[in-house]
Structure formats: structure tokens, C-alpha cells
Amino acid sequence: MITTTKQSAVSAFESFFLQHGEEGGEHFRNHVELVVDTLAEVFQTMDRPLEGKTVHDIQQELRGVLHLPEEPQSLHEVLEEIKGPVIKNSLHVSHERSMAHLHCPPVLPGVLAELIIGALNQSMDSWDQSPAATYVEEELTRYWCQLIGLSARGDGVFTSGGTQSNYMGMLLARDEFCLSKWGHNVQKDGLPESFKKMRVLCSEEAHFSVKKSVSQLGLGEQAVVPVPVNEDHRMDRHEVRRTVEQLEQEGLLPYAVVSTCGTTDYGSIDPLDGLADYCEEKGLWLHVDAAYGAGLLLSEKHGDKLSGMERADSVTLDFHKWLFQPISCGMFAVKERKHLRLLSHHADYLNPEEDEKEGIVNLVNKSIQTTRRFDALKVLLTLKVLGTRLLGSMVDQTMEVAQFAAGELEERSVFCVENPYPELSAVVFQYQPKGSRDVCGLNRKIQQKLFHEGTAVIAKTSVRGETYLKFTILNPRTTEEDVLAVIDEIEHTAKQMLGGHLIE
Ligand SMILES: *Cc1c(COP(=O)(O)O)cnc(C)c1O
């Protein structure tokens, strides 16, 4: 009796797992086909980046779907159910007029690699859970370290993104400083007595995750000292020197500089070589946040903008921004492999010290995560299917379109462009009609109206306290015509809002 119950229970579970044998293969194929059919049907009719529904309507539609049943439901049925409320109501990042954030359209090899990643479900923490994947990741990190220009002593690890990579940079910088200045081991003994004096410098336009990390690392937000930028939105190295000297006069301990290589708003690049010179002279840790700018590592035309990056102690790169990978996919690199040792803890069940003596590679030693995705496969598939040259030229293409957008906006006198010569692929601008009293309110409303109608997804940001608009061109399929159409739409929307008044 008992055996029968057990058997029928097992057969009820069976169809929900990957199975061996010919039947297993067929079963898998059928399921994947159902998903592909559903997505293909939506993509075929996708003529705008958003459906343009109200928050209320989206929530209402979702309510029906979010009911969780006790009994199984067929995959086909569930896909039909979520097709409208979830899939169609998503932001379609692959649409040419989706150009708001550093949120890229994923290339197909990356999307398909996600299927392989999920199906294989390798975990990158210990070699015995990812016997082949470990070496794929090792080889890819080596490849990108080489592209950055790091020596064979460099090393890296895949991360969930720029926030985690910046956190790791700030962690190593802190621990290395405490070790070299006081012989103090933070991992073992916690923060040293004088931790309140420790200071990190970064541009006032650095990503907020720098401050967040330093604060989470126990140093408090006051440990991050913002350095003013010049009119190109770059941190000036003379300002860095001045700030360091001032901090030292106050008895404080500056120990690291974060140089942003591609600020989130303007794509501006802090002077890498100049900062590297200064950091070397002063013995400061240099972390380069290239979450955005790393896209240029494969660019033949513009790769030289990254010159000096190879002198950083640590580097953040994101593949899920300007390198077209599905979220999440990032990397953290260090100039000196030995610094990663500051991270490693040994767990008997996972990465015992004997393993190391036997030459077994357990990537958990380099990561702040334990169970970790095989994201390196996305990058491998993409590099192999596209080739490095095409991938680099895709990035160049988005830059050209961004430059075109800036030029076009400059020509139309009703716009003011904050970065008329975009360093990367982001353009920040404001619609400034003569005589309008509430320019900020107008710009905010333009952005909202385009979003709610689904015509174009553009961003808004703040420049000296005022609301500006922003294009971030990350889709190489976005053409000059698309940009013209969106700019026309902005003007048209604005004129409608102003009721035809107040316009020249
Ligand atoms: C996006 C971004 C980050 C954060 O990266 P996530 O991948 O979103 O965690 C850090 N720095 C810069 C400059 C960024 O643009």
C-alpha cells in the first residue's frame, strides 16, 4: 500500500523536472516551445516600449494572476494567464524608443544562455558544484582583466552588478589600508580604533552605491568626501589633491579615491591617468567604477578613452549595462590577486584549506556571495556568437546616435543641452520655452506623458536642482530617425501642454 502511494507521488512530481532519456529531451523541448511561442506572440505586436496603462489598471490586471492555487495548472494555461498582465505590461527594453536608464536590450545569445544557466543550475562557489563552469569563469575574468590592461597578477570574479563590485572595492580598500597602516586585521578583529578618521574621495557625481557601501562597511556616510566636478562633469585631480591636503590638515586619514569611468547621468570620465599618478604618489587605493564605461573595452574607435584604467587597484565592470547582457551580470577586478585574499573565509564543507593545497579552485574564495550564478556563460556565448569586433562596433553605434541626438537638440533653440559633446551615450537636456514659468514642472510632465502613453521611455534627472530630461542610448538598433521622432514628440507634447501659448 505504502509503496503505491509513494510511486504515484513520484509520478506526479516527475513532469516538473528535467529528465534523462529521449522522453526527457522531448518533454523539455515542448515546454521551452510553449514559452517561446508566448513571447514571440507578444514581441510580434510590440509597437511601443510600453502599453501605456495606468498604475491602477496594471495592478487590477495583476490581481487576477497573483492568486496562487493549491492544485497544479498546465504551463500553457499559466502562460496564457500571465501573457497580458505580466509580459505585455512590462517595459520592453528591446524597443528602439526605450532610452531612459542604463538598462540595455539583451542580445539573443545572452538571453538564450539564461536558459542554459537555469537548466544546468551550476553553483560557482565550489569546484565540485561547477566543475566546468569554474574554468569558464576563470578564463573570462582573465580575458577581461587583460582587456583592462592588468598584468598576469590581476584577477577578478563575476558579481551581481556594479553595486556589489563597488562594495567589494570599498571593502578591499578599507581592509588593505588597516592592514598596512596599523597591521590591523579587520576580518578578524573588526574596525580599528581610529576608523572614524578614515576617508574615501569620489566625484560628487559618483554612483550612490559608493556611499552606501562605505556606510555599510561601518565607516559611516561621513567617510565619503565628495569632490566637486568641473563643467564637463569630471572630477578634477587638482581638486582631489586639495581635498586630500585639507583632510590631512584636519588630522583625517584619506585612503582611497573612486574614479568614475562613465557617470550614470552624463557618461563623463574622471581623469584616470592623472588620478592614478596622484594615488601612486600618495599610496592611495584607486578604485575605478566603470560599470558604464567598460562598454568601450571592445571599441576600436573609442577604447583609448579608458587609458589609465589599467593602473587602478580595483575595477567595477557591468556586462548588463553597455555590453548587452541580461540582468544580472557584472565583474570585479583587482590589479593584485593577493588582495582578494582579504575576502576569503574557509568553510569545512565547501572550501577547506586542503583543497587549496591540492590546487582545487573554489571561486567562493574570491566572492562575497556563496551560491552564485553561472553568469559568465552569457558573456562567453555572446563573445563567441557575435565576435569581439561586432560587439565593439555596436557600442560605437550607440555613441554616434547619442552624438547625433545632442547635435539635433542643440540646433533646436528651445532645448538646452547640458552635455553637448557626450563622452559616452547619454545626453542630458532641458526643454526651455521662452516665458514658461515652471520649466521643471513642464519637463517632468513631458517625461511622464511619454511614459504613460508608451510613445517613448526617456529619463529625468536633476541638474543643479532643476529637472532635466535624459536619453541613454544603449540599443544599437535605435536610429537617428528614432531619435528625431522622439525629439519631435517631446516638442509636440510640450506645445500641447502649453496650449500653443508661450512658444516662439
Ligand atoms: C549602474 C551603476 C552602478 C550600479 O550598478 P548595478 O549593476 O546597478 O548594481 C554603479 N556605478 C555606476 C557608474 C553605474 O552607472
| Predicted confidence band of residue 501 (pLDDT cuts 50, 70, 90) | low
Q: What percent of the chain has pLDDT over 70?
A: 97
Please give the Cα distance from 462 to 482 (Å, whole number): 25
> Domains of the chain: which residue ranges?
23-89, 123-386, 389-497
Its CATH architecture, for the domain 389-497, is Alpha-Beta Complex (3.90)
| Predicted confidence band of residue 251 (pLDDT cuts 50, 70, 90) | very high
pLDDT at 12: 78
**Cis bond before residue 328 (omega within 30° of 0):** yes
| Nearest CA, atom 3, ligand 1 | 162
pLDDT at 170: 98
Instruction: Give the nearest ligand 1 atom to 292 CA.
Output: 15
471 pLDDT exceeds 70? yes
> How close is the Cα of 162 to the center of ligand 1, in Å?
4
- For a mutational test of ligand 1's pocket, the pick from 205, 296, 321, i.e. the residue with the most ligand atoms closer than 8 A to its C-beta, is 321
> How close is the Cα of 161 to the center of ligand 1, in Å?
7
Instruction: Give the nearest ligand 1 atom to 163 CA.
Output: 9
> Tell me, what amino acid is at 310?
E
Selection from 170, 185, 147, 179 nearest residue 219 by Cα: 170
Domain 123-386 fold is Aspartate Aminotransferase; domain 2 (3.40.640)
500 pLDDT exceeds 70? no
Least confident of 147-156, 340-349, 445-454: 340-349
Task: Please state the φ and ψ torsions of residue 480, each to the nearest 5 degrees.
Answer: -60, -35
pLDDT at 424: 98
Give CA 313 to chain center in angstroms: 20
Task: Find the residues whose C-beta lies inside 6 A of ligand 1.
Answer: 102, 161-163, 166, 207, 209, 260, 262, 264, 289, 291-292, 318, 330
pLDDT at 4: 53
Q: What is the number of other CB atoms lying within 10 angstroms of the CB of residue 360?
A: 14
Among 70-74, 131-135, 341-345, the range with the most confident prediction by mean pLDDT is 131-135
344 pLDDT exceeds 90? no
> How close is the Cα of 291 to the center of ligand 1, in Å?
5
Exposure on the CB side of residue 117, measured as CA atoms within 13 A: 24
41 pLDDT exceeds 70? yes
> How close is the Cα of 259 to the center of ligand 1, in Å?
13
Whole-number mean pLDDT of the chain? 95
Residue 134 in grid coordinates: 569554474
Instruction: Give the nearest ligand 1 atom to 260 CA.
Output: 13
**259: CB partners within 8 A, 6+ apart:** 202, 203, 235, 270, 271, 272, 275, 286, 287, 288, 289, 312
Instruction: Give the nearest ligand 1 atom to 330 CA.
Output: 7
Q: What is the mean pLDDT of residues 149-178?
A: 98
347 pLDDT exceeds 70? yes
Instruction: Give the nearest ligand 1 atom to 166 CA.
Output: 10
Instruction: Give the nearest ligand 1 atom to 318 CA.
Output: 7
| Nearest CA, atom 8, ligand 1 | 162
Q: What is the mean pLDDT of residues 446-473?
A: 96
354 pLDDT exceeds 90? no
| Predicted confidence band of residue 8 (pLDDT cuts 50, 70, 90) | low
pLDDT at 7: 64
Query: What is the three-class DSSP state of 397?
Result: helix
Q: What is the mean pLDDT of residues 224-246?
A: 97
pLDDT at 186: 96
Please give the Cα distance from 336 to 317 (Å, whole number): 17
216 pLDDT exceeds 80? yes
Least confident of 9-13, 193-197, 240-244, 453-457: 9-13
pLDDT at 502: 46
Q: Are 398 and 422 in contact (CB under 8 A)?
A: no
2 pLDDT exceeds 90? no
Please give the Cα distance from 176 to 341 (Å, whole number): 10
98 pLDDT exceeds 70? yes
Q: Is 86 exposed, middle or buried (0-12, 13-18, 19+ CB in 10 A)?
A: middle
